[in-house]
């Protein structure tokens, strides 16, 4: 007999999540902790909907907050597993993601702590590609906390490393990045 419930319409997002959850189970059963860390990070990113610069908003609605609440423990697990197996790329991404979640919920202390730790891991691993967005989160967090010098230093570091697509014009204050906060845009120059 045909079981219609098994073939209900699912969104592409549901299908991806299902495949990631299945892959996570396989990685855990096989004991492959590196793959487990990668899948946890990817699954958390998909569930948390952390994409683009819109994540640097602190005026989140209930849906965004709930998605991030579901993703946060997965990022924490990814960080723990990546730390255990010595996988810096996932450590960097998980720290950056946790910094973004904390920033979005207004926990600037946690955001800054995660964001301050990630560049050190990236520098130790020689992975400047992962640093760009984290330095922007760090700059936004520092600026919102009133540490404008630290915010400028983070942007200058991003410019110096050539990450974030910044041009040297930013260093000359011809155009400034900014962060969205409940009180408006915080320019970093």
Domain total of the chain: 1
Decide if 6 is inside a domain: no
Domain that holds residue 94: 12-187
pTM: 0.73
Q: What is the CATH number of the domain that holds 28?
A: 1.25.40.10
DSSP 189: -
Decide if 163 is inside a domain: yes
Is residue 47 over pLDDT 60? yes
Per residue in 113-140, pLDDT (tens digit) is 998 888 888 777 777 777 777 888 889 8
Q: Which two tokens stand for residue 122?
A: 């990236």
Per residue in 153-163, pLDDT (tens digit) is 998 888 887 76
Q: CA 56, CA 153: separation in Å to the nearest integer?
A: 18
- Average pLDDT for 47-60: 65
Decide if 160 is inside a domain: yes
Decide if 72 is inside a domain: yes
Decide if 81 is inside a domain: yes
Decide if 1 is inside a domain: no
Q: What is the pLDDT at residue 163?
A: 65
- Lowest-confidence range among 26-30, 31-35, 66-70, 105-109? 66-70
């Amino acid at each position: 007999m045909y079981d219609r419930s098994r073939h209900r319409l699912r969104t592409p997002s549901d299908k991806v999540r299902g495949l990631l959850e299945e892959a996570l189970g396989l990685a855990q059963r096989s004991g492959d902790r590196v793959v487990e860390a990668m899948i946890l990070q990817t699954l958390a990113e998909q569930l948390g909907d952390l994409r683009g610069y819109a994540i640097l908003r602190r005026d989140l609605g209930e849906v965004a907050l709930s998605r991030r609440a579901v993703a946060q423990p997965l990022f924490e697990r990814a960080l723990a597993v990546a730390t255990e197996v010595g996988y810096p790329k996932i450590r960097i991404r998980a720290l950056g993601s946790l910094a973004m979640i904390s920033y979005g919920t207004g926990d600037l202390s946690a955001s800054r702590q995660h964001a301050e730790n990630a560049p050190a891991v990236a520098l130790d691993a020689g992975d400047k590609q992962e640093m760009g967005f984290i330095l922007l989160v760090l700059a936004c967090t520092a600026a919102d906390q009133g540490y404008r010098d630290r915010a400028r230093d983070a942007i200058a570091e991003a410019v110096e490393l050539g990450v974030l697509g910044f041009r040297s014009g930013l260093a000359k204050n011809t155009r400034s990045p900014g962060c969205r906060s409940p009180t408006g845009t915080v320019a970093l120059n």
